Amino acid sequence: AGGGNELQMACDLAIAADHVEILQVGTRVGSVAAGGATQWLPI
């Protein structure tokens, strides 16, 4: 998997259940963010 969170961050609206955790998993495995996440995260 991959790229889903980057796509979600580019959207104006996100719909999720109450128990959902939206994570950037690259930091857990030592990889860099892809798909523009480094530009979206500071916003």
Q: Residues 8-39: pLDDT tens digits?
A: 777 888 888 999 887 777 777 777 766 666 67
- The answer to whether the pTM exceeds 0.75 is no
* pLDDT of res. 19: 93
Residue boundaries of the structural domains of the chain? 4-40
* pLDDT of res. 7: 75
* 29's tokens: 């495995």
* pLDDT of res. 37: 66
Q: Which residue would you say has higher pLDDT here, 19 or 5?
A: 19
From start to end of 1-43, where are the E strands? none
Q: Which residue would you say has higher pLDDT here, 13 or 1?
A: 13
AA letter at 20: V
Question: Number of C-alpha atoms within 13 angstroms, CB side, residue 9?
Answer: 18
Do 6 and 35 contact (CB within 8 A), yes or no?
yes
Do 22 and 16 contact (CB within 8 A), yes or no?
yes
